[in-house]
Amino acid sequence: MKDYSINFKDFTEKLRRQLAEPLPGAEAHERMNTQSPLRRLVTPNDKTRKSAVLILFYPHQNEVHLPLILRPAYDGVHASQMAFAGGRHEHTDENLTRTALREAQEEIGIKATDVEVIGQLTELFIPPSNFFVLPVVGFIDYRPDFYPDPREVERVFEVPMRTLADENIKGITTVTTKGHDFDAPFYGIEGHKIWGATALMIAELLALIDKIEN
């Protein structure tokens, strides 16, 4: 397994260079793609909206970490799911990078002005919610204090990169969405399953990080 206890500045600079290269996109996504029929039945249309999430790296205990959130239970397609902090683009956001930073600050209390953005992953279409989502990648050079908004976030998980990269946390589960049952590959974190768009983002992220030399 790759050593994620490397110098944090070294890690972020190497990742910045990888993000500037052609992205693995669909090839990486295929490793964690679901077999949902919604992928065929729902396609982008004039009601599709834009959104963004923030993949935020930071150092903690001599390791590279990132935060994941658990959404509260509510009447919605993403209820009780694990995800990156983020949300829909607002007309006051000058771009989707600003959307990701604003939403992360609102949802988990990080200081957006302290985040250095180093790139983006491949934009994804999410059929159940009819959104395009752009994963924005950045870092903070210290361990942030998290202040989750209870309306949006039930819990913040501080996840070491070595945990996400461990093949032993991968599995397949059956998911029901809008009356459809389908198989969904997932990453298991502390008894919770990360699947869908967030799993695809992680798969692409890991494909890029795998190219980084120790």
Of 135, 138, 3, nearest to 63 by C-alpha is: 3
Query: What phi-psi label fits residue 79: left (phi over 0), alpha (psi between -120 and 50 degrees) or beta?
Result: beta
pLDDT digits (tens, 9 = 90+) for 11-54: 999 999 999 999 999 999 999 998 776 666 678 888 999 999 99
Mean pLDDT, the chain, integer: 90
Domain ranges of the chain: 8-209
Q: What CA–CA distance (Å, rounded) separates 45 from 145?
A: 39
3-state helix/strand/coil string of 150-188: CCCCCEEEEEEHHHHCCHHHEEEEEEEECCEEEEEEEEE
Higher pLDDT, 116 or 4: 116
Q: Does domain 8-209 have CATH number 3.90.79.10?
A: yes
Q: Give the CB-side neighbour count of residue 201, counting CA atoms within 13 A.
A: 27
Q: What CA–CA distance (Å, rounded) separates 127 from 108?
A: 26
The proportion of the chain whose per-residue pLDDT surpasses 70, expressed as a percent, equals 89
Q: What CA–CA distance (Å, rounded) separates 54 from 22?
A: 20
Q: In the predicted model, what is the mean pLDDT of residues 116-134?
A: 93
Quick one: tokens of 212? 């980084």
